[in-house]
Structure 1
Amino acid sequence: MKKFILILILFTLIAGCSKSTPESTLPAGGTSTPALAPPEVQTTQAPDVEEAALQYLEYWKTNDYLAMYSMLSQSSQETISEEEFSQIYHDVAVELAMESLDYAILSSFVDPNQAQVAVSINYNSLLIENLNRDIILLLNLNEGIWKIDWSKGLIFPELVGDNMLQLTRLVPSRGNIYDRNGSVITAYAEAISVGLTPSQIKPNKEDKVLEELGRDLDMPPEVIYAMYEDYPPDVDWYLPLGAISLDAIEPRLGILESYTTNGVLLRNFDGRYYFNGGASPQAVGYVRWIQEAELDAYRIQGYSKGEKVGGQGLEYWGEDYLAGDRGGILYVVNQEGETISQLAREEAAPPAEIYTTFEKEFQLEVQKALYGYNGAIVVMEIDTGRILAMASNPSFDPNAFNSDYYNSSFLLQEYYKTDQKSPFLNRATQGLYPLGSVFKIITMAAALETGEFKESDVYDCGYFFEELPGVTLNDWTYDHFLEDDKTPSSGKLTLTEGLMRSCNPYFWHIGLHLYQNGYPEAISDMAKGFGLGSLTGIETLEEEAGNIPAPSSPLDATNQAIGQGDTLVTPLQVAQFMAALGNGGTMYRPQFVESIRSAGGEEIFSFEPEQVGKLPISSTTLNIINNAMVQVVDNPRGTANHRIRGLQINVAGKTGTAESGSGESHAWFGGYTYNQNENKPDIAIVVIGENAGEGSDVSAPIFRRVVELYFNQVLRYYPWESEIGVWYVPEDDAE
């Protein structure tokens, strides 16, 4: 009975639940309690996991390792410090020589609070091509932010446990540098260092020892003797003399070896060898060891510890060509350095070779022409901008950077002395000097182009200039008068004659007149139009722009008119505008590289003349200036006539003597040939003797020597030579 009642009650409840809601019995228009709205459930959308993965990968690509670390999960950060994390990524990038990194997301899977993102990584190594790996990023959602579960396998899948990557670099030999005709300037070679201990020379053998050494080192015996004559004869000190390639010395090696009992010391070495002690060493450059502080920067470019790189000049500029393409073998190694597997191998590719614009023999002779003076010489084809010679003194032997070269330590110690005058500075492109009277060419151009002066205008060039209130300036003729008590002033001169005589008062007058009559910047603007105050654009060599200020006072304008004051130029800039004067007004970009060729002989680069502008003067002005420059050397009253007369080559030029601010003046001569020989292009030549005195006394004879060398003329002795290459200065004549 009880069971029946329970069943009945259950049935009744079920039936009641199944009935529909009864209709309201309230009259129309009545009110009732409104039904409750369904509840709104607030949900937080999880951030896009792929966006998080992309952000992490972008940080990796930009080497922002700290930002990557900030995206790691707490548990991952507990296993590795921020510093360790950054270091391991940096080390892998360096080991792989990784230039950049690319990535792409392949797929992703999200399971509310966890996710996986498959990624393809391309490690753009400079040494190993097509180095790709797929990795899986594991991410956890933590307080609405995706965090990375990190392991070393996310850098490279094979990096499990204590495994490491190891790249063995395959290094090609360095490319050679040749002159324009293919004569080698630097290449790998076996050589012999040569030196002398003067105290060990037997008196009856000294002349013969010096003769033999001079023959092999291409050095006058008198020059070698001068290197040690002032040292005590009883002290054993070593004089490094140079190096000779083994091929060159082999036929005479026995002769030199016979003098080892007379102080001659010979030592073998090999490596990158600069023949003849270095042809244009500041411009060609040298190679040096990679320093510890820069090792990582070079390793990431594919270099190894213990390698050498270009340190200056073409060696530095052409590093990418001369170094070749390095290869490598990529291994996975364990903590003990044992190889677990080889992952990839890429062979090295041979380097290119660089050919300079100069001929080595001429270049070496030009270097000798500057012997005894600090300064520079630049020789440039006037119609192309091709550099035919570039010399800078004091100089250096680039072989000194080869530590296997016995003379190395002696030479480097000398070069880096605090009182040494920067032998590594290329004075042709980086030396900054006031131009002195050579600048009068520019002042003359400004005078004519403004219309304020004509070629026929006459000025009385006396000893003194007194147009500046309270200031008296002396002409160079007065300085000579004080020395010899007979040099007259130049007297009345036309503008052409003013340049021929290098009359300071005339050009001071021009500078002051232009400044005071509406043309305050005519001269400085003309100088800039001649290429001064800006880079020549030689590109392959380090260079300075110089300084051409606008004058701010009458005295500034007066000084600038003769190339003094704050005006500073490089010899290369002067050679560039001298070439333009000689070719009709076209400015060419100076170039030092004739060609670059691959190992297979294919030309990567070939010299082409490049016009960069025109002199801002009319053809009439150009002709007047050129005529005046011819008169400088041809007219008996010209400042260079006594040094140039008798030369069988047609030349034009200008002397310059620039106050240096300390010591003697700088001696300038700049000019060009107009020989019009089809087989010998005309050239511009600029010579500066640093603190050497007057341009007509020092630089004009050197200019002449360079012309004679280029055109194969008989060489005329310098006033200071007892024979070619040997100095002789009479005690009673220091000029």
Structure 2
Amino acid sequence: MNQRARLSLLVVQIFIFSLLFGLMGRLFYLQVAAGPKYRDAALSIQSRDVVTPATRGLIVDSSGVPLALNRVGVAITVDRTKLDRQSDKGVAVLRSLSTLLKIEYRDIYQRTRLCGELAKGERAGCWTGSRFQPIPLTKEADPELALRIVERPDQYPGVSATPVSIRNYPGNAGANAAHLLGYIGPLTEEDLSGANGRSYFRSESIGKAGLEIQYDEYLRGSPGIKTVIVDRKEAVTSTTQNSKPVGGNHLVTSIDVRVQAAAETALADAVRRARSMGYPSDGAAAVVMDVRNGQIIALASHPTYDPNAFERGLTVAEAKNLYSEKAGVPALSRALQGLFAPASTFKAVSAVAAANAGYDLNASYDCPSQVEVGTRAFQNFESKAQGRISMKKAIAVSCDTIWYRIAFDEWLRDGGLKPKSNANDHFFSAAKGFQVGVKTGIDLPSESSGRLADREWRKSWYEQNKDFYCNYKERASKSQQTAFLVQLAYENCLDGDKIRAGDAVNFSIGQGDTVISPLKLAQMYAAIANGGTILKPTIAKAIVKTDGTVIKEFKPEKLGVIPATKETIKFLHGSLREVVISGTGAGAFNSFPIPISGKTGTAQVFGRNPNGSAKADTSWFASYGPTNKPRFAVVMMVSQGGFGASVSGVGTRKIYETLFGVEGSKVSSAKILFPSGIPPVGLPKISPATKVKGAK
């Protein structure tokens, strides 16, 4: 054998030994080094987890009355993996169930479809979970029907019946509280992905809105897990784990179910009253806040929905109705998500701005019927002239023209269309001091921040809309090309990045581009009532274990102080009381035995309704009481409801009647909710059977 042949043989031998060495190394890694990992993987293929969801904790009001609890029901579920193997994909089975359960077939079909299987506009009521978990058709089946289904597996393949815990919102004292409480629902693929930092099992339900989602980690508890080993025929051979479920903790809130019910009733009455006057009145909201600590006593929105519908299973019609503009978008919580121009309720902020600018709040000023600002005449409310009146009287009768002049003068001093680098911007600064445009921080999801239309906002707005207004005739629809809108577009293109004189005067009376939520206004008036402290609104008071142990208590949180001196706050107290004594709020609170202070507001709204009619004014009433020792701030807003005094003012009075036990013009000692003057401070004993005391 020559040298070259030997070298080739040596290379082949080395290559073969290298392969053998690599193979032995890989076998060693798989069998020894990574053995435990692959044993676990093999075991998991043979194991099945049986999950028993934990009983969800209760949500109770400040006296222990349940707002959300649990009850036992019978669920009829379908297994999509079995239905899909049917020749007709389970259509016959579902139609039979439709007849038996008396549920429309289209609703049953929709509930059993994965959301990803349907087009975007057709997903109302779809199944957000997986096809590999039981899909409930109803959780409140008649036990006899459930038994009939279970006894006929050949007729109902893939259909089961099982007892389940049903989340229930009992509506004690007539309180719906849907926007406050929220609801629970099945897990989505996003939930299961761990995107929110939590791990779940597919058969669990979690909070989807309101307090249910805000405090889900406390309320949900820990599910019981039973892990069984099965053979290839799915027969159980052994059990490796069996942990029992641990019930969730209870949430004690600051809500009083009686005040909540009164607020909801007052809203419904206010909407009916507005409609009887010819206004569309498409929605309303009310907030009751403790001015001493920021706790929310009631928070209501109208129209509302039934939170129990999500447990029953939404029909297609119910799901669409939640977001229907014709129905008033019941899913929208107007109290913390609705944004509206605050109108004359904002004059409390303007009073602070005027005082900080050096105006004497104890002096008298002219209140003409109109004021010329540039080439435009700005009218007083109903074009009435009030003569020369005190600033206190001006707030009481809601004179606008005084504020037009002050705001216009300050705009000129700050440089007008060419603002000084050191412009005082007293009105914008006062609004910032009240934290307008900033979320209140309430412990509820999806709060809107509102909008403070100052110089920074104006520049940002211009950058986003300049192209549209500068090409308005090409971009706008024909219906938008009225003489007024074309001229407005021209002005916005020319100097839309600047605060103009009209913007300044509108800002001073709560009109224009500044918008706030009813919750924000309640926070602002609570700060005025308590002497200047801005408090974070809170609903949770404590998290309590099932044995009564307190896990966590929530303390009041101070967010800042309003930019007003003691003298200015004292002036506001006197002026807001005068509104109710002899001003625009006097009619609504005529002969009311408890002194109340407040401010009416009637905000003009630009735009049209879906039917083509012009939008009506927003009705406001912001208040606090009792005047001398304030305890509660109460704010009501009725969208497209007309005048503040005759609609929201009357509605606010009804809430105060419940708070203070007022009947007509007298206080009924038997009906006073808080005899000591303040809501409960301690924590209640929690029981699903706790009854409502003093409920009508």
TM-score computed with the length of structure 2 as normaliser: 0.65
Identity of aligned residues (%): 26
- For 1:285 and 1:161, the matched residues in 2 are separated by 40
Name the counterpart of 2:619.
667
Name the counterpart of 1:275.
170
Counterpart amino acid of 2:663?
V
- For 1:674 and 1:301, the matched residues in 2 are separated by 46
Shift of 1:324: 0.3
- For 2:263 and 2:411, the matched residues in 1 are separated by 41
Q: Does residue 1:185 correspond to 2:37, yes or no? A: no
CA-based RMSD: 3.2
- Contact persistence 1:588–1:609 (CA under 8 A): yes
Shift of 1:676: 5.7
Shift of 1:537: 1.3
Name the counterpart of 1:475.
380
- Contact persistence 2:443–2:540 (CA under 8 A): no
- Contact persistence 1:285–1:316 (CA under 8 A): yes
SS of match in other structure, 1:525: helix
Q: Does residue 1:517 correspond to 2:405, yes or no? A: no
Shift of 1:715: 4.8
Name the counterpart of 1:460.
366
Name the counterpart of 2:658.
709
Shift of 1:521: 2.3
Name the counterpart of 1:315.
212
Name the counterpart of 1:19.
none
- For 2:207 and 2:570, the matched residues in 1 are separated by 45
Q: Does residue 1:357 correspond to 2:254, yes or no? A: yes
Give deviations 1:555-607, integer Å, cap 9, x for gaps: 21111111111101111111111111111111111111122101121112223
Name the counterpart of 2:454.
550
Counterpart amino acid of 1:547?
R
Name the counterpart of 2:181.
284
Name the counterpart of 1:176.
58
Aligned with residue 166 of structure 1, among 48, 58, 61: 48
Shift of 1:693: 0.5
- Contact persistence 2:625–2:633 (CA under 8 A): yes
Name the counterpart of 2:632.
683
CA 1:339/1:297 → structure 2, altered by over 3 Å: closer, same or farther? farther
- The structure with the largest strand share of the pair is 1
Name the counterpart of 1:423.
330
Give deviations 1:298-354, integer Å, cap 9, x for gaps: 999554445432121001111111110123123444444334543333332111011
Name the counterpart of 1:526.
430
Aligned with residue 414 of structure 1, among 303, 309, 321: 321
- For 2:53 and 2:32, the matched residues in 1 are separated by 35
- Contact persistence 1:545–1:569 (CA under 8 A): yes
- For 1:162 and 1:694, the matched residues in 2 are separated by 67
- For 1:456 and 1:642, the matched residues in 2 are separated by 26
For structure 1, which segment, 431-440 or 161-170, has the greater mean C-alpha deviation from structure 2 after superposition?
161-170
SS of match in other structure, 1:430: coil
Name the counterpart of 2:105.
none
Aligned with residue 309 of structure 2, among 400, 407, 429: 400
Name the counterpart of 2:602.
657
- For 1:631 and 1:544, the matched residues in 2 are separated by 32
Q: How many residues align?
A: 488
Counterpart amino acid of 2:378?
L
- Contact persistence 1:299–1:305 (CA under 8 A): no
- The structure with the largest helix share of the pair is 2
CA 1:471/1:294 → structure 2, altered by over 3 Å: closer, same or farther? same
CA 1:439/1:112 → structure 2, altered by over 3 Å: closer, same or farther? same
- For 1:645 and 1:652, the matched residues in 2 are separated by 13
Name the counterpart of 1:622.
569
SS of match in other structure, 1:654: strand
Shift of 1:409: 6.2
Shift of 1:506: 0.7
- For 1:290 and 1:161, the matched residues in 2 are separated by 26
SS of match in other structure, 1:701: helix
For structure 1, which segment, 295-304 or 564-573, has the greater mean C-alpha deviation from structure 2 after superposition?
295-304
What pairs up with 1:240-259 in 2 under 5 angstroms? none
Q: Does residue 1:495 correspond to 2:442, yes or no? A: no
- Contact persistence 1:162–1:334 (CA under 8 A): no
Counterpart amino acid of 2:348?
I
Q: Does residue 1:435 correspond to 2:342, yes or no? A: yes
- For 2:198 and 2:361, the matched residues in 1 are separated by 60
Shift of 1:675: 5.2
- Contact persistence 1:582–1:672 (CA under 8 A): yes
TM-score computed with the length of structure 1 as normaliser: 0.62
Name the counterpart of 1:381.
290
- Contact persistence 2:229–2:238 (CA under 8 A): yes
Counterpart amino acid of 2:245?
A
SS of match in other structure, 2:410: helix
If you compute each CA radius of gyration, which structure gives the higher value, 1 or 2?
Answer: 1
- For 2:291 and 2:28, the matched residues in 1 are separated by 65
- For 1:712 and 1:385, the matched residues in 2 are separated by 22
CA 1:346/1:302 → structure 2, altered by over 3 Å: closer, same or farther? farther
- Contact persistence 1:399–1:408 (CA under 8 A): no
- For 1:370 and 1:162, the matched residues in 2 are separated by 56
Name the counterpart of 1:647.
592
For structure 1, which segment, 296-305 or 315-324, has the greater mean C-alpha deviation from structure 2 after superposition?
296-305
Give deviations 1:535-569, integer Å, cap 9, x for gaps: 11113343111110215222211111111111011
Give deviations 1:692-731, integer Å, cap 9, x for gaps: 00111211111111111100001589xxxxxxxxxxxxxx
- For 1:191 and 1:340, the matched residues in 2 are separated by 32
Q: Which has the higher contact order (CA 8 A, sep 6+)?
A: 2
SS of match in other structure, 2:587: helix
Counterpart amino acid of 1:395?
T
Shift of 1:627: 1.0
Give deviations 1:272-291, integer Å, cap 9, x for gaps: 22112753210111122334
In structure 2, stretches of 5+ residues that fail to align are 1-18, 75-139, 141-163, 272-282, 415-422, 456-498, 608-614, 667-696
Counterpart amino acid of 1:355?
V
- Contact persistence 2:207–2:213 (CA under 8 A): yes
- For 2:326 and 2:660, the matched residues in 1 are separated by 38
- For 1:620 and 1:600, the matched residues in 2 are separated by 51
- For 2:288 and 2:439, the matched residues in 1 are separated by 18
CA 1:503/1:334 → structure 2, altered by over 3 Å: closer, same or farther? same
- For 2:297 and 2:396, the matched residues in 1 are separated by 28
Name the counterpart of 1:724.
none
CA 1:587/1:367 → structure 2, altered by over 3 Å: closer, same or farther? same
- Contact persistence 1:280–1:390 (CA under 8 A): yes
- For 1:136 and 1:461, the matched residues in 2 are separated by 92
Give deviations 1:129-148, integer Å, cap 9, x for gaps: xxxxxx8446xxxxxxxxxx
- For 2:639 and 2:28, the matched residues in 1 are separated by 69
- Contact persistence 1:443–1:510 (CA under 8 A): no
CA 1:676/1:504 → structure 2, altered by over 3 Å: closer, same or farther? closer
- For 1:324 and 1:388, the matched residues in 2 are separated by 27
Shift of 1:526: 0.9
Name the counterpart of 1:236.
none
Q: Does residue 1:600 correspond to 2:532, yes or no? A: no
SS of match in other structure, 1:706: helix
